[in-house]
Amino acid sequence: MPTISLKPYRCRRCGHVTHQNTNHWASTWSFGKSNVCPECPPWAKYPEYGSHTIWDCLESEPERVV
């Protein structure tokens, strides 16, 4: 299992880049008001407006050695 490391992630809506500690390279998303994009307008990121933030990892997953 991969270890947790700091990886760059980009907001799918506006392109803002931040770093997240994860143990994978898949997309992540906001949960309620946690992990929302600071650059997106409120209607584009908060659940009360029916939206959320999706973050895409900018790092490629390393090839696995068997």
User: Do residues 16 and 40 touch, judged by C-beta distance below 8 A?
Assistant: yes
Task: Give the mean model confidence (pLDDT) for residues 33-59.
Answer: 95
Give the list of residues 6+ apart from residue 49 with CB closer than 8 angstroms, or none: 42, 43
The whole-chain average pLDDT of the chain stands at: 93
Q: Which domain holds residue 22?
A: 5-57
Whether 62 is in a domain gets the answer no
Instruction: Count CB-CB contacts under 10 A for residue 37.
Output: 22
If one counts the domains in the chain, the total is 1
Instruction: Tell me the helix, strand and coil percentages in the chain, rounded to 5.
Output: 10, 30, 60
For 10-40, how does the pLDDT look when each residue is reduced to its tens digit (9 = 90+)?
999 999 999 999 999 999 999 999 999 999 9
Q: What is the pLDDT of residue 63?
A: 84
Vertex 39 angle, CA 35 and 40, to 5°: 80
Whether 42 is in a domain gets the answer yes
